[in-house]
C-alpha cells in the first residue's frame, strides 16, 4: 500500500530542506569547503530555482517574512552564479569573496526560520514544534 503524503507535509519537509541548505550557505567559505564549489550552488538551486527573483513557490509552511529573507539570499546566489564559471574550483570560489558576501544574508534567513523552528517530517503542524 502506497503512503499518501499531504501537500502540507510536503511543504513542511521542503521548508526543513531549505533550512539545511541555508546552514551550508550560512557557513560561508567553510560551507563551500564542506560540499565543494559546484554543490554549494547545486544544493541551493535544487530547492530554489535559479533566476526566479521575486517569484516564490506556494508553500504553506514558509511565512512571508521568511520568503523575503530567502529571496535576499537567492538574489545574491544568482549574482554569484552569474559572475563565476560553471566549473569554478573551491579555492577560486572562496577567493572570489562570494561566500563571504552571501553569508550574512543566509545567516539572517536561517535565524528567522529558527525563530519558528523546524516542522515535523511526519505529522502536519500549524506551527513548528522542533526547536534547535
130 — phi, psi (to 5°)?
-100, 120
Residue 58 pLDDT: 85
Of 72, 73, 63, whose CA–CA distance to 12 is shortest? 63
Residue 132 pLDDT: 64
Residue 3 pLDDT: 73
Residue 15 pLDDT: 97
Question: How far apart are the C-alpha atoms of 132 and 20, rounded to whole Å?
Answer: 12
The residue whose grid cell reads 507535509 is: 9
Residue 29 pLDDT: 97
Residue 49 pLDDT: 83
Torsion (CA) 67, 29, 97, 38 in degrees, nearest 10: -80
Hey, CA dihedral for 101, 103, 104, 105, is it positive or negative? positive
Give, for all 132 residues of the chain, the pLDDT tens digit: 567 889 999 999 999 999 999 999 999 999 999 999 999 999 999 999 887 665 667 899 999 999 999 999 999 999 999 999 989 999 999 999 999 999 999 999 999 999 999 999 999 998 888 776
pTM: 0.92
What is the DSSP secondary structure assignment for residue 122, as one 8-state letter? S
Amino acid at each position: 500500500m502506497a503512503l499518501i503524503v499531504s501537500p502540507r507535509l510536503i511543504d513542511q519537509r521542503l521548508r526543513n530542506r531549505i533550512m539545511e541548505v541555508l546552514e551550508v550557505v550560512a557557513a560561508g567559505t567553510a560551507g563551500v569547503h564542506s560540499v565543494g564549489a559546484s554543490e554549494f550552488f547545486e544544493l541551493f538551486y535544487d530547492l530554489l530555482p535559479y533566476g526566479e527573483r521575486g517569484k516564490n513557490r506556494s508553500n504553506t509552511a514558509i511565512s512571508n517574512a521568511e520568503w523575503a529573507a530567502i529571496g535576499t539570499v537567492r538574489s545574491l546566489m544568482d549574482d554569484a552564479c552569474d559572475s563565476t564559471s560553471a566549473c569554478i574550483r573551491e579555492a577560486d570560489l572562496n577567493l572570489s569573496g562570494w561566500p563571504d558576501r552571501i553569508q550574512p544574508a543566509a545567516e539572517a534567513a536561517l535565524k528567522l526560520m529558527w525563530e519558528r523552528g523546524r516542522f515535523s517530517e511526519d505529522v502536519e503542524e500549524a506551527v513548528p514544534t522542533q526547536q534547535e
